[in-house]
A = this chain, B = another copy of it.
Amino acid sequence: MRGHINENKQKQVYKVIGKHVYGNLYEIEDKFLTDLEFLIDIVNKSAEIGNLHIIEVYTKKFKAINNMPGGVSVIALLEESHIALHTWPESNYATIDIYSCGKKSSPEESFKFILNKLKPKTFKMFKADRGN
């Protein structure tokens, strides 16, 4: 862990590495967006691939809207921060957030893994520096 001295406070201030990769995924087939077990599985595997360590995975399956199956939220609390996957089957849409403060992790790889599993026709990916 790297650090630098804050002269005023005489306290070593450690550098936080914070890599946040997130995206919006369009035109996904319905079947990928409603299957809770499948979505939990890809979140678990995406963590493994990105060298992220899951503490716990939390889920919510939402109620049907206008006779369309409801969406799903899968949130993984990580040793390195969090993963959040939200789906909207009524819009064939999903979003992914992979946020990691792990120096040896690759949230990009986790993101790509989920992308390959959900197979959107188009998507947007963004990166944000969440370090100090």
Q: Which A residues are closer than 8 A to B by beta carbons?
A: 1, 11, 13-16, 18, 20, 22, 24, 26, 55-56, 58, 60, 62, 65, 73, 75, 77, 79, 81-82, 84, 86, 88, 90-93, 95, 97, 99, 101, 126, 128-132
Q: Are A16 and B132 in touch, CB under 8 angstroms?
A: no
Given A13-B92, A16-B91, A24 and B77 touching (CB < 8 A)?
Answer: no
Which single member of B14, B20, B93 contacts A16 (CB below 8 Å)?
Answer: B93
Q: Are B60 and A132 in touch, CB under 8 angstroms?
A: no
A-side interface mostly: strand
The 10 closest A-B pairs by CB, nearest first: A93-B132, A14-B90, A14-B91, A16-B91, A16-B88, A95-B130, A91-B132, A82-B84, A16-B93, A81-B86
Q: Which residues of B contact A65 (CB under 8 A)?
A: 1
Q: Which residues of B contact A56 (CB under 8 A)?
A: 58
Q: Are B126 and A128 in touch, CB under 8 angstroms?
A: yes
Q: Which residue of B lies closest to A13 (CB)?
A: B91
Q: Which residues of B contact A84 (CB under 8 A)?
A: 81-82, 84, 99
Bound Cα distance from A14 to B79, whole angstroms:
35
